[in-house]
């Protein structure tokens, strides 16, 4: 028998979440962002559920190839554009749209031999200072692209640094509006946080929204809001089982470094899940977990292959708890839910990082559309 750990990818939840993006921006087209292997879910595992999107956004050319291999003929946008000249050949062959964020990418296009001109997304650095032309250089870049026979349509995009937080997006939308004022072309500004928090403004919804983390059932502005607030559903469940049960006396310790010491008699379960499965080692004692659908917490340090959970106050566990189902995050039995955001917060990180870090050794199964 294999180790009892597995990940489940929930296609019904993916379809629900992408529909939420569409409902928030009914007049915009939706790009489902599937970079990083669909945020750790596996592009092949999510594809059927996200077919309702108008296009896909990603970074790696081999991921674009995989989407074409799955039969997707619609739009695919390379969010970082090309990394070297010859990437343009694949863009021509696979009909990829690509971001243009620096002058060299325009030089490559100018030298590129293609029968079919490309659609590009010219990126403005409106304040995030990661990728894009400065407002001063933006118009010059647009003019250069517009003169190239290799370029057919120029769309305009930018990315928000604070759509999830207090600073918000106004400073960046003002820069975007000014830099793009009289330029033609479709516009794309919003990531998940902007879709959920700022989509009242039609200029923010614009023509294309880019739905990433919300598609995968994590709230971009947790803990201010959780997935229940945004009506999102977990799309990845990590689950395992209790392998062993230990009965502790007051003063007994648990795990490496004896970092946890029992203050009372306790019953704890040893679970087949550790940091080599992608569970965060930094999740301290007290991280939430479900055992047989009942909420409890972890105890002591996470080791490579195992972690401990507190079973002391749990009811109705057959065999003292051995073999009980443990939900590390996601959808538990009997409708119980443990949002990945809660586990991430206990580990000092965000849901994005946990889902992307699911380890290769964890077998993945897919709950298909019903």
Ligand X SMILES: *Cc1c(COP(=O)(O)O)cnc(C)c1O
Positions that interact with ligand X (CB under 6 A): 33, 35, 79, 159, 191-193, 210-213, 220
Whole-number minimum distance, CB 79 to ligand X, in Å? 4
Residue carrying the six token digits 């409708």: 335
Question: Which is closer to ligand X, CB of 290 or CB of 343?
Answer: 343
Query: How far apart are CB 134 and ligand X at their closest, in Å?
Result: 17
Clarify whether 35 is annotated catalytic: yes
Helices 103-111 and 135-146, axial angle in degrees (round to 10): 10
C-alpha distances out from residue 167 to 161, 164, 172, Å: 9, 8, 10
Nearer to ligand X, 157 or 338 (CB): 157
- Asked if 142 contacts 122 with a C-beta cutoff of 8 angstroms, the reply is yes
CB nearer to ligand X: give 194 or 317: 194
CA angle 282, 288, 294 (to 5 degrees): 150
Retrieve residue 129's tokens.
Answer: 């200072």
Q: How far is CA 5 from the centre of its chain?
A: 22
CB closer to ligand X, 58 vs 254: 58
**Shortest distance (Å) from residue 326 CB to ligand X:** 28
> Is residue 14 packed enough to be buried (19+ CB in 10 Å), middle (13-18) or exposed (0-12)?
buried
Is the bond preceding 106 in cis, omega lying within 30 degrees of 0? no
Catalytic hit among 123, 241, 249, 256? 256
Q: How far apart are CA 38 and CA 215, in angstroms?
A: 10
Q: Closest residue to ligand X, Cβ-based?
A: 212
Our answer to whether residue 256 is catalytic in this structure is yes
Q: Minimum distance from CB of 213 to ligand X (Å)? A: 4
For ligand X, give the closer residue by CB, 45 or 192.
192
Query: What is the phi/psi pair of residue 9, to 5°?
Result: -105, 125
Identity of the residue, 131 or 343, whose beta carbon is nearer to ligand X in the bound complex:
131
The reply to whether 306 sits in an annotated binding site is no
For residue 304, say whether it is annotated as part of any ligand binding site: yes
* Cα distance between residue 241 and residue 324, in whole Å: 5
Please, what is the minimum distance in Å from the beta carbon of residue 269 to ligand X? 34
Query: How many residues would you count in the chain?
Result: 370
Strands 151-157 and 187-188: parallel
The Cβ of residue 141 has, within 10 Å, a number of other Cβ atoms equal to 22
Q: What's CA 324's distance to the chain center, in Å? A: 29
Query: Which residue's entry shows tokens 């995050």?
Result: 329
Closer by beta carbon to ligand X, 30 or else 242: 30
The whole-angstrom separation of Cα 196 and Cα 193 is: 5
* Given the residues 35, 123, 241, 279, the one annotated as active site: 35
Q: Taking the complex as a whole, how short is the minimal distance between the CB of residue 212 and ligand X, in angstroms?
A: 2
Note whether 53 and 75 are within 8 A (CB): no
**Residue 334, φ and ψ in degrees, nearest 5:** 55, 40
Tell me: cis bond preceding 223? Omega within 30 of 0 counts. Answer: yes
Min separation Cβ 251 and ligand X, Å: 46
Question: CA-CA distance, 191 to 214, in Å (whole number)?
Answer: 9
- Give the residue numbers of the binding site for substrate: 130, 304
Residues recognised as catalytic: 35, 256
């Amino acid at each position: 028998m294999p180790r009892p750990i597995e990940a489940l990818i929930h296609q019904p939840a993916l379809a629900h979440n992408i529909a939420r993006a569409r409902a928030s921006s009914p007049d915009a087209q939706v790009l489902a962002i599937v970079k990083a292997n669909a945020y750790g879910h596996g592009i092949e595992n999510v594809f059927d559920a996200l077919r309702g999107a108008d296009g896909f956004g990603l970074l790696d050319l081999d991921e674009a190839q995989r989407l074409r291999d799955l039969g997707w003929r619609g739009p695919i946008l390379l969010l970082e554009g090309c990394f070297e000249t010859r990437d343009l050949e694949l863009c021509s062959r696979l009909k990829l749209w690509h971001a243009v964020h620096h002058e060299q990418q325009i030089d490559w296009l100018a030298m590129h031999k293609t029968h079919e001109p490309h659609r590009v997304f010219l990126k403005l650095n409106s304040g995030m200072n990661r990728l894009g032309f400065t407002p001063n250089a933006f118009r010059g870049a647009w003019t250069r692209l517009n003169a190239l026979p290799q370029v057919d349509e120029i769309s305009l995009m930018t990315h928000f640094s604070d759509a999830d937080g207090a600073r918000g997006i106004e400073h960046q939308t003002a820069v975007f509006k000014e830099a793009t004022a009289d330029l033609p072309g479709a516009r794309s500004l919003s990531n998940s946080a902007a879709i959920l928090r700022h989509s009242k403004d039609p200029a923010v919804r614009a023509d294309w929204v880019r739905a990433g983390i919300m598609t995968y059932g994590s709230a971009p502005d947790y803990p201010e809001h959780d997935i229940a607030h945004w009506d999102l559903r977990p799309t990845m469940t990590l689950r395992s089982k209790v392998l062993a049960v230990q009965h502790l006396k007051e003063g007994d310790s648990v795990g490496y470094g004896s970092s946890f010491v029992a203050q009372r008699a306790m019953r704890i379960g040893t679970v087949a899940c550790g940091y080599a499965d992608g569970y965060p080692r930094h999740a301290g004692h007290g991280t939430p977990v479900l055992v047989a659908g009942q909420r409890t917490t972890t105890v002591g340090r996470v080791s490579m292959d195992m972690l401990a959970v507190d079973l002391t106050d749990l009811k109705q566990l057959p065999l003292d708890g051995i073999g009980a189902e443990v939900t590390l995050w996601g959808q538990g039995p009997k409708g119980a839910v443990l949002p990945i955001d809660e586990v991430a917060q206990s580990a000092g990180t965000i849901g994005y990082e946990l889902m992307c870090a699911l380890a290769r050794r964890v077998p993945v199964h897919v709950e298909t559309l019903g």
